[in-house]
Structure 1
């Protein structure tokens, strides 16, 4: 009888969803592939977004402002705390339908995020409707 109770308990434990941990999703702090910034990814309403939490390699000539933004009214914004990821929704195992903003050139791209098996994050930005894409691998901080 003890064996059946233990077996039943083991089966129930296996069928129960595992508790969510901070390490199980894309939310958290990520170091960019070039080690120049930390991006804080979090829920923003019903989607996922990300901000530059910290600049690791300052560029003094730019005074850490969004000087390359095509909108002159936004060029005075500080790069730190700037939202660079927006609108991502989970779709077939990836966060899709989002946008990524690159303050180095002032452009925004269609983007997707995918958590890799090794715990890194693949960040892909695309132009021309996804015909031309470029990816980076970010690591969790």
Structure 2
């Protein structure tokens, strides 16, 4: 057997021996839970429909609407009103800066136990959030998370 072939076989054996260690360390790095404050900041929906500000309120987290087609009319200037709010006293308020996510609590690598208000219907849903690969995934649902919808956000500069 020539030296070149022996060298290649030795390198292959070394690569195969190190593969489980490399894969395990990569999996551990990806599985690291985010810190509780990882969601704090300004976020934009991947589809560009909304911008929000997520902030800590005591031990919980909330979000306010900043901008997007969900809060401005087609002219991109006039702010929409909260016309479908079940409380008639709130129907004349602007949607800009309303706190629409409340009560998120950090536990086991995700934020759970929150509520999210859908101004287009006037309904409030259960809410949870998680971070994956630097993206924020916010899920609104009724009863069980499987019966819901997720919107993905990226951090704004």
Under TM normalisation by the shorter chain, which class is it?
A: 0.7 to 0.9
Q: 1:105 to 1:34 in 2, by over 3 A?
A: farther
What 5-or-longer segments of structure 1 have no aligned partner?
1-20
Name the structure 2 match of 1:29. Answer: 42
TM-score by length of 2: 0.68
- 1:50 matches 2:63: yes
Offset, 1:134: 1.2
TM-score by length of 1: 0.75
Name the structure 2 match of 1:121. Answer: 136
- What is the root-mean-square deviation of aligned Cα atoms in Å? 2.2
Larger Rg: 2
Aligned 8 A contact 1:32 1:137 in 2: yes
More strand by share: 1
Structure 1 runs of 4+ with >6 Å offset: none
Matches within 5 A, 1:57-136: 58-60=72-74, 63-117=79-133, 119-136=134-151
CA distance in 1, matches of 2:85, 2:46: 22
CA distance in 1, matches of 2:85, 2:69: 21
Aligned 8 A contact 1:86 1:99 in 2: yes
**SS at the partner of 2:89?**
helix
What 5-or-longer segments of structure 2 have no aligned partner?
1-34
Offset, 1:54: 2.2
More helix by share: 2
CA distance in 1, matches of 2:67, 2:102: 18
